Chain A
Amino acid sequence: MSKPTNSVTGSVAIPPGLARPLGIGGGVLAILGALLPWVTFLLNDGAYPDKATLQFFDAPYAVSGFRLHVLLLGVVAIVAHFIPVPLRRVLRALGWGLIGVAAVNIVFPLVDGGGFGAITSDGTNFAFGGIVSLIAGIALVLAAKTGPLEPVPQWKTSVPTLVAYAVLVVSFVALLLVVAMMLNAGGQGGVGNPYAGPIFLSLLAFLAGVLGALHGIGLTGWISGLSDKHKWFSVIVLVLVALALPFTEAGTDYWMTTAANIGVYAATAIGLNIVVGLAGLLDLGYVAFLGIGAFVAANFSGAAAAAFDIELPFVVAAIIAAVVAGIFGAVVGSPTLRVRGDYLAIVTLAFGEIFKKAAQNNIGGLTGGANAIPNVPPINWFGASFDESLTIGSLELPSGVLYYVLIIVLVALVMVVFANLKNSRIGRAWIAIREDEDAARAMGIKTGQAKILAFLIGATLAGLAGAVFAHKTSTVAYDSFQFIESVTLLAAVILGGMGSIPGAVLGAALLLVLPEKLREFSDYRLMLFGLALVLIMRFRPQGLVPDRHRRAELADEGADGVPIEELNVHDTPGDEKAVTR
């Protein structure tokens, strides 16, 4: 039986003899590109960041920002030739990173500064840095095409526990710093920095290149293997690391608020992941459950516009919200006994619309209609109001930090629920239903009950998130729960990788952070965003952080960049026939 080989080599055939010249040449070019100026004159919005103008002559070798990234990528590309690593894999990742960085920093001056003069020569000044770096990137990618990609090395995960712990702590802390760096790239929300967008995108391309290279040498696989092995330790460290975000440079009011929003979405997306990712039931009206949770909590919050004139403690209100949302989940889930696939999607879509219209019309006086329920008081525990800043000793933490902490706890809780269910009898039943409903029934699974349970649990989690949402935003209005929000949640799940927890969190984070970060592209923002989604789905249909099962499902359907070797395919001795499906 011949092992199925991955043909990422593509259609371009480069003679293997060119591998070294292309690889090392690309690296040298990248270094050169980093040291060359990138822009010839002042752009309309002021000097392009990081010495990209002719300030080159003021400080000849000052390299920082994206040019530092280009320099690093180039140096690593050269070094990679002299150490035992899967060279073509590493070069491919570095090459694409370089192309990304160069493209962003070419396109932006081109458009903003007007014409090719900005990035080549305007008569007196020259600036070929961008073009040289782009060529360097292409050279590296071509060097990677001189042969088939090497398998990703599998590092041994049987290391002493202490070593594993140290590695995990270091990698999670590094992750935290990277996240903080990304959030802060170009300043928050582009305030006062006309170039925040390209800075952010360029950083993203650089990080993608580095991550790809680390993946190529097997490091990320090793770390994820270690964290699988030391699951609980990883979870604890991850939570602690997340709690440390307010202490980094991203610890501002703005990012705390955004991060809390991400958390609400992430928790909801994980709930949706149970329904869509595990049980395979497409739900297009899921945000309604977030809404139900939010309205229930708002009505018990003591707000002036609330239907009930009682103020319940937050925890009690949150539990009621979760239970009510769960009941609605079971109700919506019951038609799933009769309808499948597309029809189910329509049923859930209709439910979402019914909820929105009902809320808009202030049904039963519970939703405030167009006036919404304003002035939901912030959560207040032990005299600490959650919307104020917090001072610990001499350290002042930004406002919203308490919400952030609460939501981290919520997300962690939801994650544990998801993970525990997934690795249980009921989780296996859900996956079996997703894979083949008739076969699942033939295995004695009561598919009706299992599906309703999926809806119930998913809705309960969303209701819980909704309760936090109500207090955090302080105004609960029907238009926060439109169809587009359901779509966004679904996109978060699919983007991150169906059935995968880190995937849902990453998906939610991207869907909320990207629009913020691309703000200064104003009109083009959503278009770019949509384009990014299309590209991700084209090149990584299994999602960014795919679940093991999904990865297997989609990888052999020609998904680029997911080599079969990663899937642990090994020959079974004694087979005479290969599976050909």
Chain B
Amino acid sequence: MSATPVLAANSVSMVFGGLTALSNVSLRLQEGQILGLIGPNGAGKTTFFNCLTGLYSPTTGNVQLRGQVLPTDPAAVTVAGVARTFQNIRLFPSMTSLENVMVGRHSRMKQGPLASLFHGPAYLKGERDARDRSRELLEFVGLGTVHDELARNLPYGDQRRLEIARALATDPKVLLLDEPTAGMNPQETEATRQLIFAIRETGVAVVVIEHDTKFIFSLCDHVSVLVQGQLLVEGTPDVVRADPRVIEAYLGKPPDEVEAEVRQYAEEAAHGGPESTQVMQPIRDQDGHEGGNR
């Protein structure tokens, strides 16, 4: 773990007016790692993502990709090799799946305005390469059959996967996924988990924001817990899961009568037993199918 991390956030703070959204958050993402970022609503997870991707310029601190400080311009950050998806899906709704992914190829294509205008051999080759690569990626995320479907017409889960394909099209070194399984049923969540493993296989390091702690603990090599803009705990899933502060941050100080249940929950989570998929849901709701089978 002493090697230069592929992505490093160094004491990032973000202040909006009088509100401190992030204070001194640091993060190290190693090559080939899947890092989970969890925390209650409003903890600053998405703000942190926006700092990582240059959408926000951190008030203090910086972000480095393989030792190079990243600029605070989303386009330049993407070119440098950090791609992201959005919490609320932001595809280009009236473009087809294939076109969406081809937009992702934008920064890796060399076609200038003149080539675009005259459609010479170089243009044709570039266009063909981009299309082939985009098809490959659609295939990779499991959307091989819907190239010509408009993004807006895709089912919800497919839209999430299309967003991932689009992000991958930028040839990233680091992929940031903002709640990739939000609103998914258990099968889709599992498919997404497998997809993220497959992405890691291709040499891309991944950071995932999720509410679903079971998903995070079963997916990530390293988990960071963000609470009220501060890094509360970090470490391997086992370390984080066992930390009472995490449970407290999520559920508040347990009154005596629910303490036992909380402990039971933590145990079950540790053994991968029946559990609620959404930690934010009351933990009494234990049928495990809630939110699925719609």
Interface residues of A (CB under 8 A from B): 1, 417, 420-421, 424-429, 431-432, 435-436, 438-447, 453, 457, 549-550, 552-553, 567-570, 572-573, 575-579, 581
* Centre residue among A424, A425, A428, A457 by max chain B CB count within 10 A: A425
Question: How many angstroms between the C-alpha atoms of A445 and B108 in the bound complex?
Answer: 10
Stretch at the interface among B24-32, B90-98, B198-206, B267-275: B90-98
Question: How many angstroms between the C-alpha atoms of A578 and B55 in the bound complex?
Answer: 32
Question: How many angstroms between the C-alpha atoms of A329 and B118 in the bound complex?
Answer: 21
Residue B74 CB within 8 A of the other chain: yes
Shortest distance from the beta carbon of A14 to any chain B beta carbon, whole Å: 31
In the complex, which residues of chain A have a beta carbon less than 8 angstroms from the beta carbon of B195? Answer: none
Q: Which of A417, A444, A446, A577 contacts B294 (CB 8 A)?
A: A577
In the A-B complex, list the 10 residue pairs whose CB atoms are closest, starting with the nearest: A444-B107, A424-B116, A444-B78, A435-B92, A549-B94, A439-B90, A441-B74, A425-B111, A575-B155, A432-B103
Shortest distance from the beta carbon of A499 to any chain B beta carbon, whole Å: 10
Question: Is A579 a contact partner of B155 (Cβ separation < 8 A)?
Answer: yes
Question: How many angstroms between the C-alpha atoms of A286 and B37 in the bound complex?
Answer: 48
Which residue of A has the minimal Cβ distance to B119?
A420
Q: Which of A424, A428, A436, A441 contacts B123 (CB 8 A)?
A: A424
Question: Is A428 a contact partner of B93 (Cβ separation < 8 A)?
Answer: no
Residue B153 CB within 8 A of the other chain: yes
Which residue of A has the minimal Cβ distance to B184?
A577
Stretch at the interface among B13-21, B60-68, B142-150: B142-150
Shortest distance from the beta carbon of A187 to any chain B beta carbon, whole Å: 43
Question: Is A579 a contact partner of B106 (Cβ separation < 8 A)?
Answer: no
In the complex, which residues of chain B have a beta carbon less than 8 angstroms from the beta carbon of A549? Answer: 94-95, 150
Which residues of chain B from 244 to 275 have a CB within 8 Å of any chain A CB? Answer: none
Question: Is A445 a contact partner of B90 (Cβ separation < 8 A)?
Answer: no
Which residues of chain B from 96 to 118 have a CB within 8 Å of any chain A CB? Answer: 99, 102-109, 111, 113, 115-118
Q: Which of A417, A444, A552 contacts B106 (CB 8 A)?
A: A444
Shortest distance from the beta carbon of B276 to any chain A beta carbon, whole Å: 21
Q: A439-B90, A579-B152 are in contact. Are A573 and B145 (CB under 8 A)?
A: yes
Interface flags, B8-47, vs A, CB<8A=1, else 0:
0000000000000000000000000000000000000000
In the complex, which residues of chain A have a beta carbon less than 8 angstroms from the beta carbon of B127? Answer: 424-425
Question: Is B74 a contact partner of A577 (Cβ separation < 8 A)?
Answer: no
Cross-chain pairs A/B with CB under 8 angstroms, 18 sampled = A1-B155, A424-B111, A424-B117, A427-B116, A428-B99, A428-B102, A435-B94, A438-B74, A439-B90, A441-B73, A443-B104, A549-B94, A550-B94, A570-B149, A572-B146, A576-B155, A577-B185, A581-B152
Question: Is B99 a contact partner of A426 (Cβ separation < 8 A)?
Answer: no
Question: Is A429 a contact partner of B94 (Cβ separation < 8 A)?
Answer: no
Question: Is B113 a contact partner of A453 (Cβ separation < 8 A)?
Answer: yes
- Known A-B contacts: A432-B92, A442-B55. Give 11 more (CB < 8 A): A421-B116, A425-B105, A425-B130, A426-B111, A439-B92, A441-B55, A443-B170, A446-B75, A552-B150, A577-B155, A579-B153
Question: How many angstroms between the C-alpha atoms of A440 and B150 in the bound complex?
Answer: 17
Q: A435-B95, A573-B145, A578-B155 are in contact. Are A443 and B116 (CB under 8 A)?
A: no
Q: Which of B84, B115, B153, B157 contacts A442 (CB 8 A)?
A: B84
- Which secondary structure characterizes the binding site on chain A? helix
In the complex, which residues of chain B have a beta carbon less than 8 angstroms from the beta carbon of A570? Answer: 149
Question: How many angstroms between the C-alpha atoms of A577 and B184 in the bound complex?
Answer: 10
Question: How many angstroms between the C-alpha atoms of A571 and B64 in the bound complex?
Answer: 44
Q: Which of A436, A569, A573, A577 contacts B92 (CB 8 A)?
A: A436
Which residue of A has the minimal Cβ distance to B99?
A428
Which residues of chain B from 179 to 231 have a CB within 8 Å of any chain A CB? Answer: 185
Question: Is B152 a contact partner of A552 (Cβ separation < 8 A)?
Answer: yes
In the complex, which residues of chain A have a beta carbon less than 8 angstroms from the beta carbon of B149? Answer: 570, 572
Question: Is B146 a contact partner of A442 (Cβ separation < 8 A)?
Answer: no
Q: Which of B91, B117, B130, B170 contacts A444 (CB 8 A)?
A: B170
Which residues of chain B from 49 to 82 have a CB within 8 Å of any chain A CB? Answer: 53, 55, 73-75, 78-79
In the complex, which residues of chain A have a beta carbon less than 8 angstroms from the beta carbon of B153? Answer: 552, 567, 569, 579
In the complex, which residues of chain A have a beta carbon less than 8 angstroms from the beta carbon of B93? Answer: 435, 553
Shortest distance from the beta carbon of B33 to any chain A beta carbon, whole Å: 22
Question: Is B94 a contact partner of A445 (Cβ separation < 8 A)?
Answer: no
Q: A444-B78, A577-B294 are in contact. Are A420 and B157 (CB under 8 A)?
A: no
Which residue of A has the minimal Cβ distance to B109?
A425
Shortest distance from the beta carbon of B63 to any chain A beta carbon, whole Å: 15
Residue B154 CB within 8 A of the other chain: yes
Question: How many angstroms between the C-alpha atoms of A443 and B55 in the bound complex?
Answer: 12
In the complex, which residues of chain A have a beta carbon less than 8 angstroms from the beta carbon of B148? Answer: 568
Which residue of B has the minimal Cβ distance to A578?
B155
Question: How many angstroms between the C-alpha atoms of A429 and B106 in the bound complex?
Answer: 7
* Centre residue among A424, A457, A550 by max chain B CB count within 10 A: A424
Question: How many angstroms between the C-alpha atoms of A88 and B75 in the bound complex?
Answer: 51
Residue B5 CB within 8 A of the other chain: no
Question: Is A444 a contact partner of B116 (Cβ separation < 8 A)?
Answer: no
Question: How many angstroms between the C-alpha atoms of A455 and B159 in the bound complex?
Answer: 32
Which residue of B has the minimal Cβ distance to A580?
B156
Question: How many angstroms between the C-alpha atoms of A570 and B74 in the bound complex?
Answer: 35
Question: How many angstroms between the C-alpha atoms of A578 and B158 in the bound complex?
Answer: 11
Question: Is B185 a contact partner of A572 (Cβ separation < 8 A)?
Answer: no
Shortest distance from the beta carbon of A451 to any chain B beta carbon, whole Å: 13
In the complex, which residues of chain B have a beta carbon less than 8 angstroms from the beta carbon of A421? Answer: 116-117
In the complex, which residues of chain A have a beta carbon less than 8 angstroms from the beta carbon of B90? Answer: 436, 438-439, 442
Question: Is A442 a contact partner of B95 (Cβ separation < 8 A)?
Answer: no
Question: Is A445 a contact partner of B107 (Cβ separation < 8 A)?
Answer: yes
Q: Which of A426, A440, A569 contacts B113 (CB 8 A)?
A: A426
Shortest distance from the beta carbon of B121 to any chain A beta carbon, whole Å: 14
Question: Is B146 a contact partner of A425 (Cβ separation < 8 A)?
Answer: no
* Centre residue among B53, B79, B126, B152 by max chain A CB count within 10 A: B152
Shortest distance from the beta carbon of B182 to any chain A beta carbon, whole Å: 13
Question: Is A425 a contact partner of B106 (Cβ separation < 8 A)?
Answer: yes
Question: Is B75 a contact partner of A445 (Cβ separation < 8 A)?
Answer: yes
In the complex, which residues of chain B have a beta carbon less than 8 angstroms from the beta carbon of A552? Answer: 94, 150, 152-153
Question: How many angstroms between the C-alpha atoms of A572 and B115 in the bound complex?
Answer: 36
In the complex, which residues of chain A have a beta carbon less than 8 angstroms from the beta carbon of B170? Answer: 443-444
Question: How many angstroms between the C-alpha atoms of A445 and B76 in the bound complex?
Answer: 9
Which residue of B has the minimal Cβ distance to A435?
B92
Shortest distance from the beta carbon of B209 to any chain A beta carbon, whole Å: 15
Question: How many angstroms between the C-alpha atoms of A233 and B107 in the bound complex?
Answer: 33
* Centre residue among A443, A457, A549 by max chain B CB count within 10 A: A443
* Centre residue among A444, A549, A576 by max chain B CB count within 10 A: A444
In the complex, which residues of chain A have a beta carbon less than 8 angstroms from the beta carbon of B99? Answer: 428, 431
In the complex, which residues of chain B have a beta carbon less than 8 angstroms from the beta carbon of A1? Answer: 155
Q: A426-B111, A436-B92, A442-B53 are in contact. Are A447 and B75 (CB under 8 A)?
A: yes
Q: A436-B90, A549-B95, A573-B145 are in contact. Are A442 and B78 (CB under 8 A)?
A: yes
Question: Is A579 a contact partner of B154 (Cβ separation < 8 A)?
Answer: yes
Residue B166 CB within 8 A of the other chain: yes
Shortest distance from the beta carbon of B163 to any chain A beta carbon, whole Å: 9
Which residue of B has the minimal Cβ distance to A441?
B74
Which residue of B has the minimal Cβ distance to A422?
B116
Question: Is B145 a contact partner of A442 (Cβ separation < 8 A)?
Answer: no
Question: How many angstroms between the C-alpha atoms of A443 and B104 in the bound complex?
Answer: 5
In the complex, which residues of chain B have a beta carbon less than 8 angstroms from the beta carbon of A445? Answer: 75, 103, 106-107
Question: How many angstroms between the C-alpha atoms of A417 and B118 in the bound complex?
Answer: 8
Question: Is B95 a contact partner of A439 (Cβ separation < 8 A)?
Answer: no
In the complex, which residues of chain B have a beta carbon less than 8 angstroms from the beta carbon of A573? Answer: 145
Question: Is B155 a contact partner of A425 (Cβ separation < 8 A)?
Answer: no
Question: How many angstroms between the C-alpha atoms of A572 and B146 in the bound complex?
Answer: 8
Shortest distance from the beta carbon of B18 to any chain A beta carbon, whole Å: 25
Q: Which of B83, B116, B154, B294 contacts A420 (CB 8 A)?
A: B116
